[in-house]
Structure 1
Amino acid sequence: MQISKQNLEVILKDRFGLASFRAGQLEAINVLMEKNRLLCIQPTGHGKSLLYQMPTVLLDGITLVISPLLALMRDQISQLTNRFKIPAASINSDQEEYENNSAKIAAKTGKIKILFVAPEQLDDIDRFDFLLALPISLIVIDEAHCISTWGHDFRPSYRQIIKLVQALENKNPSIKVLGLTATANHKTQADIVQQLSANIPVLVQRSNMDRPNIKLSVIEARGLANKLFYVKQLIEMLPGDGLIYCSTRENTEVVAKYCQKQNIRAVAYHAGIDSSEKIKLQNEFISGKYKVIAATNALGMGIDKSNLRFIIHFDVPGSITAYYQEVGRAGRDGLPADGIILYDSSDKKI
């Protein structure tokens, strides 16, 4: 399917309220629409979501988005439904069963255009068969590096994605497949391409991964008390709102409580918090109730706040690749932002 640049620009302005495409977006959309298979490797905050949102408007049927970032799902659904008038729903473990059932009914009856699903849902044979029966025209693999054993965050559940893609392809040979990631080296890229290229070759679009608006720095901090001291100093000095990554739930609570005692609007955010409370905290942070949120690395990745002005790593990140992805949550609006690591050599033992 080939669509003119002029028509795509009209949709971009009228449906999405954007004046122009970012670098590489138009080319990626054209490749996906014409060639059906694309792996797109772009930096965080580069506008990868548009690469499936616009094709969704153009295609019949449903777009299936498989993503491990549950908090990001909620933000996407809210934006799609309220801002872009694209009905969307999700199936994931953070929702009550009645919510998941409502999403299934909406998908079966054609009331939504985009369905978000957590990869773990594919382990359930009934859910797998349910998805297979839907009129899916585009399947999107978010955080696509997770399907590769060479990826920094390999997840066994992602292996089910390959089975689903192959089953959907047998049902509909013209189905489109889009892989999205901000962190895939060439070895990981080759593995993803090999897995997704069973019948149709996968094209790759790799963008410059530099984020020049983010200033990176490291502060040597010895021990918990010294780190907390620097947290207070940095928050008072840095403008805007920020995210503090912690490697443990305990540290998120310690950091949040310390900040609260310093009259800093802060809250902890980790997997031990009830699902409804997590949604509430995330919405409050995005709306500006809190200046900082202390989050574990996995949950912090799901926070979609484009104007985060700083990221502080209270503990050393798990890897360079993980750090790139985590610090990339800052400055997604293109304005200056800071990424700071509080370094203690003993963190390597965590």
Structure 2
Amino acid sequence: MTSIAFFDIELNTTGKLLLDIGCVLSDGTGFHKNHPEEFAQFITQCDFICGHNIVAHDLAYLRRHFGHPEWGLDKAIDMLLLSPLLFPRQPYHRLLKDDKVQTEERNNPLNDAKKARDLFYDELSAFRALDDTFKGILYGLLHNQSGFDNFFRYLNYAAPVNKEQLTSKIRGLFQGEICKESELDHFIDEDPVALAYTLALLNCDDRFSITPPWVLKNYPDVERLFFLMRNNPCLQGCDYCSRAHDPLLALKKHFVFSGFRKYGDEPLQEDAVRAAIQGESILAVFPTGGGKSITFQVPALMSGENAKALTVVIAPLQSLMKDQVDNLEKKGITEAVTINGLLDPIDRGKAIERIENGYASLLYISPESLRSVTIERLLLKRKIARFVIDEAHCFSSWGQDFRVDYLYIGDFIKNLQQKKGLDYTIPVSCFTATAKQKVIEDIRSYFKEKLQLDLRVFRADASRTNLHYRVYQRDNEEEKYSQLRSIIEEKNCPTIVYVSRTKRARKLAQKLTSDGFVAKAYHGNFNGLHNGVWFFCLAQILAFNAFSGYLCIF
């Protein structure tokens, strides 16, 4: 009968001092003491040794201790390496949390060894339940990889390993799920482990299951392979790419629109969306209310579905972030979250959990949030599809709203890429409503210098034919107020009245209310509104659309 030892060792925080060893054999015999030599003797007759993260952790220490660079590797089965292959779907295995085994008793390696035994037998059952074709794919990719190889030996499992057959099996099983032009032969030769993790996640066929953070950290090529096979439209337009990368299909699916907005006769919105889908970095200068949000939301939702990736939207105003998330939820799109200073600890925790668990494809944050360790750690755990920078004129000292924290964005992205071990630059989309040529040059120069990105510019005509301006000269406050009342009565539509002070906004709202109008005062002292918002009195109704109503400067 095949004998297997399940073990775990406890080290101090520096990883240099052994504190304890726990082991249980497949026949139930146990070992629990801090004595490596006795442990080695205890397992000497075992055919296999098994544990969680033993290749990189437990055996690494024991190899140094015994002075043998290969000690234990010829018998090792590492369940950490196997878990994402066999339990890729949410909810994940009850004993797993990222790279740790869940246990009720901390710092007890014998207890952890018993948990590892339970997990191992569940992994055996999970493998046996797999489709025969996928079993063969996993064997073909991993049968000669340390930590994986002995799992197949324990099972006495073997399958054809000819690369041509392996490639054919992958294309057949994932037909219509990956790009037909994917260079599978190259991936098999260069990144077999990363390819196995990528295919396991695709094989579970669950929209919100994601790659565990420890896999992204140790096998960063998983992100690249996901991109190349699922998020990189081929020139030939294979069946998968024609369906998965069609922005019109995505627009119809998520927003029920049959086509994108045109500016004049130019399809700039659709062109910008297609450029983002192709992985280009862009700068879009579209007028307020001209569809900037959809231009980045459509590619973000597509990347979330195709590559299980997160798009990070950096915006200056907390109230606008919340507004965008709320508007998406009204459309039935629940994949967007915001993390900002207005959230209480419970809501903040829920938002973080949704990102960690893969339920969010869009994250809205302020530029100041990039200095948060929590945000950095959060983004390290997810594949990042793109950074979107709203109100991008804030980069430029020539712009009307220069924000110093915007200048940190490039450094943050560069540092994040280095920590994730990426060999490519995460693309960027910048959006602004109005930008002079000097501001556009500043934005493009910034990203060229910081990230070596060339931003493709999509610029709409800034003129707004639906806006009309009229000036009324009145000599005193009473005449001004009388004129305002006449305008409101004449237009009979949602009206915004801008004033210069908070106190004046309140007084004007009170006066309009006393005269029979429905008026409310909004200003920067209200909770939930950014301090930079102009003080204004909103007359007629509270919910309004600035461009379907009437604007008065008072």
1:46 and 2:46 correspond = no
Counterpart amino acid of 1:220? Q
What CA deviation, in whole Å up to 9, does each residue of 1:197-245 have, x standing for no partner?
2322111111111111112222224454443332222111113212222
Q: Distance in 2 between matches of 1:67 and 1:175?
A: 18
* Gap regions ≥5 residues in structure 2: 1-231, 234-240, 263-267, 531-537
2:481 matched to which residue of 1? 228
The equivalences for 1:99-114 within 5 A come to 99-114=347-362
Question: RCO greater where, 1 or 2, for CA within 8 Å and sep 6 or more?
Answer: 1
Q: 1:14 aligns with which of 248, 253, 259?
A: 253
Q: Distance in 2 between matches of 1:52 and 1:31?
A: 11
The question of whether the paired residues in 1 share the 8 Å contact of 2:247 and 2:273 is answered with: no
For residue 188 of structure 1, give the secondary structure of its aligned residue in structure 2.
helix
1:175 and 2:426 correspond = yes
The CA deviation at 1:165 is 2.7
Q: Distance in 2 between matches of 1:226 and 1:124?
A: 52
1:211 matched to which residue of 2? 464
Query: Once structures 1 and 2 are overlaid, which stretch shifts more, 204-213 or 234-243?
Result: 234-243
What TM-score results when the alignment is normalised by the length of structure 2?
0.49
What TM-score results when the alignment is normalised by the length of structure 1?
0.76
In structure 2, the CA distance between the partners of 1:190 and 1:304, relative to structure 1 (3 Å rule), is: farther
The equivalences for 1:52-63 within 5 A come to 52-59=296-303, 60=307, 61-63=309-311
In structure 2, the CA distance between the partners of 1:176 and 1:97, relative to structure 1 (3 Å rule), is: same
Query: Once structures 1 and 2 are overlaid, which stretch shifts more, 158-167 or 34-43?
Result: 158-167
In structure 2, the CA distance between the partners of 1:126 and 1:224, relative to structure 1 (3 Å rule), is: farther
Counterpart amino acid of 2:321? M
2:277 matched to which residue of 1? 33
For residue 49 of structure 1, give the secondary structure of its aligned residue in structure 2.
helix
* Gap regions ≥5 residues in structure 1: 280-288, 294-302, 315-350
1:164 matched to which residue of 2? 412
For residue 312 of structure 1, give the secondary structure of its aligned residue in structure 2.
strand
In structure 2, the CA distance between the partners of 1:114 and 1:206, relative to structure 1 (3 Å rule), is: same
Q: Distance in 1 between matches of 2:507 and 2:437?
A: 39
Q: Distance in 2 between matches of 1:110 and 1:7?
A: 23
The CA deviation at 1:154 is 0.8
2:28 matched to which residue of 1? none
The question of whether the paired residues in 1 share the 8 Å contact of 2:250 and 2:302 is answered with: no
The CA deviation at 1:256 is 1.4
The equivalences for 1:263-342 within 5 A come to 263-275=516-528, 291-292=540-541, 305=545, 308-314=548-554
* Count of aligned residue pairs for this structure pair: 294
Query: Once structures 1 and 2 are overlaid, which stretch shifts more, 158-167 or 61-70?
Result: 158-167
What CA deviation, in whole Å up to 9, does each residue of 1:274-315 have, x standing for no partner?
33xx69xxxxxxxxx97245xxxxxxxxx873763112222x
In structure 2, the CA distance between the partners of 1:54 and 1:304, relative to structure 1 (3 Å rule), is: farther
The CA deviation at 1:117 is 0.8
In structure 2, the CA distance between the partners of 1:256 and 1:122, relative to structure 1 (3 Å rule), is: farther
In structure 2, the CA distance between the partners of 1:19 and 1:239, relative to structure 1 (3 Å rule), is: farther
The CA deviation at 1:133 is 4.4
What CA deviation, in whole Å up to 9, does each residue of 1:27-66 have, x standing for no partner?
0011122242101001111111111111012213111111
Counterpart amino acid of 1:121? S
In structure 2, the CA distance between the partners of 1:242 and 1:75, relative to structure 1 (3 Å rule), is: same
In structure 2, the CA distance between the partners of 1:154 and 1:307, relative to structure 1 (3 Å rule), is: closer
1:67 and 2:315 correspond = yes
The question of whether the paired residues in 2 share the 8 Å contact of 1:132 and 1:167 is answered with: no
Q: Distance in 2 between matches of 1:33 and 1:237?
A: 47
2:369 matched to which residue of 1? 121
The question of whether the paired residues in 2 share the 8 Å contact of 1:243 and 1:308 is answered with: no
Q: Distance in 1 between matches of 2:376 and 2:337?
A: 17
In structure 2, the CA distance between the partners of 1:26 and 1:247, relative to structure 1 (3 Å rule), is: same
The CA deviation at 1:188 is 0.6
2:325 matched to which residue of 1? 77
In structure 2, the CA distance between the partners of 1:260 and 1:133, relative to structure 1 (3 Å rule), is: same
Counterpart amino acid of 2:370? L
For residue 470 of structure 2, give the secondary structure of its aligned residue in structure 1.
strand
For residue 43 of structure 1, give the secondary structure of its aligned residue in structure 2.
coil
In structure 2, the CA distance between the partners of 1:213 and 1:107, relative to structure 1 (3 Å rule), is: same
Q: Distance in 2 between matches of 1:128 and 1:120?
A: 12
The question of whether the paired residues in 2 share the 8 Å contact of 1:168 and 1:175 is answered with: no
1:187 matched to which residue of 2? 438
The question of whether the paired residues in 2 share the 8 Å contact of 1:72 and 1:304 is answered with: no
The CA deviation at 1:189 is 0.6
Q: Distance in 2 between matches of 1:156 and 1:266?
A: 37
Q: Distance in 1 between matches of 2:331 and 2:345?
A: 27
Q: 2:392 aligns with which of 138, 144, 158?
A: 144
